[in-house]
Amino acid sequence: MEPLIKFENVCYTYTGNDAEPGMFAVHDLSLEIKEGEFVAILGHNGSGKSTTAKLMNMILAPNSGDIYVEGNKITGRELTDEDVFEVRKKIGMVFQNPDNQIVATIVEEDVAFGPENLGVPSQEIRKRVDEALDIVGMREYARHAPHKLSGGQKQRVAIAGVIAMKPKCIIFDESTAMLDPMGRKEVMNTIRRLNKEGMTVILITHYMNEAVLADRVIVMKSGEIYEQGDPKDVFCNVERLWEAGLEVPQTTELIFKLNKKFGWEIPLGVYDFDTCARLVTEKIKEVRGENVGN
């Protein structure tokens, strides 16, 4: 099957000036996103994550290289507004600051804004809005004013607005960065649920414990792919991630540091609290047992 999104040797440069020529924000990037996949993109500030996302739904156009959405080439020719519309219908985006994405004064009107602009018939809009609010668990707030909601709730309304456009894929560009711990949990649960129901999810984040939930992690550095694979494998490469200015989940960091300090060989991995604790406790008991024996 055709991948949903495909990049072939994509380059993008932000325009510079004479003193400082533009730098590659994305350099010779090739990647594929399959339908239904949950991909997390990590990388330090300026590594090219957000540029990549903006290339995916045509907010930016590459300087060279090709991008395909469902097998259709969206680069290399004069594009009409319809072309852009088609892509944005398929690939939605949720940004960092919920306050910048909400346009209406009533929750359900805000969610209806996207489908209205797509020319969806009004009865269908009603249906889509209700469904979308159900999915994010905000139906009971349909008639509330968005500015009075919490950060997590607002972000869920923004997600509902994208869902109502029935995209195949949603890109979350650091959508939890401004939320408190509970708001982050709410949004992450919504994202996971969407993915389970078949939505392709691309999650750009600085939180490693969010990236762990993905099927695949792509780590970017200087506009290129630095590392990719199963989150468990990627996060085991602790020192390599540190080099890229990133961190690993605290459970992995603990085991890595213990292994290093005591010469232990607890298998590195991404664990929940209990598994991590069991591995560490067993080792402590084992070592103490030996000490007693000596």
Partner 1 sequence: MSAIEVKNVNFVYGKKTPYEVHALEDINLSIKENCVTGIIGHTGSGKSTLIQMFNGLVKPDSGKVFVDGKDIWEKPKEISKIRYKVGMVMQYPEYQLFADTVWEDIAYGPKNMGLSEDEVKERVTTSAAFCGLDGEALAKSPFDLSGGQKRRVALAGIMAMKPAVLVLDEPAAGLDPRGRREILGGICKYQKESGTAVVIVSHSMEDMAKYCDELFVLSHGKLLLHGDCKEVFSEGELLRSAGLDVPEIYGVVKAIRKQGADISKYIYTVNGAVDAISRLLEGRDE
User: Which residues lie near partner 1 (CB under 8 A)?
Assistant: 20, 43-46, 96, 148, 150-152, 174, 177-183, 206, 209, 245-247, 249-251, 253-254, 257-258, 261-262, 273-274, 276-278, 280-281, 284-285, 287-288, 291
Residue closer to partner 1 (CB basis): 129 or 219: 219
- Of 36, 165, 158, 5, which Cα lies nearest the Cα of 89? 165
How far, in Å, are 33, 257, 263, 283 from residue 290 at the CA level? 50, 21, 15, 11
Residue closer to partner 1 (CB basis): 70 or 186: 186
Residue closer to partner 1 (CB basis): 30 or 281: 281
- Of 246, 255, 263, 220, which Cα lies nearest the Cα of 48? 220
Give the separation between CA 129 and CA 40, rounded to whole angstroms.
27
Residue with tokens 């020529």: 21
Cβ atoms 168, 3 nearer than 8 A: no
Least Å distance, CB 245 to partner 1, is: 4
Least Å distance, CB 27 to partner 1, is: 17
Least Å distance, CB 135 to partner 1, is: 22
Residue closer to partner 1 (CB basis): 73 or 285: 285
Cβ atoms 202, 53 nearer than 8 A: yes
Beta strands at 216-221 and 224-229: parallel, antiparallel or unpaired: antiparallel
Least Å distance, CB 83 to partner 1, is: 31
Residue closer to partner 1 (CB basis): 123 or 291: 291
Least Å distance, CB 249 to partner 1, is: 7
Give the separation between CA 8 and CA 122, rounded to whole angstroms.
39
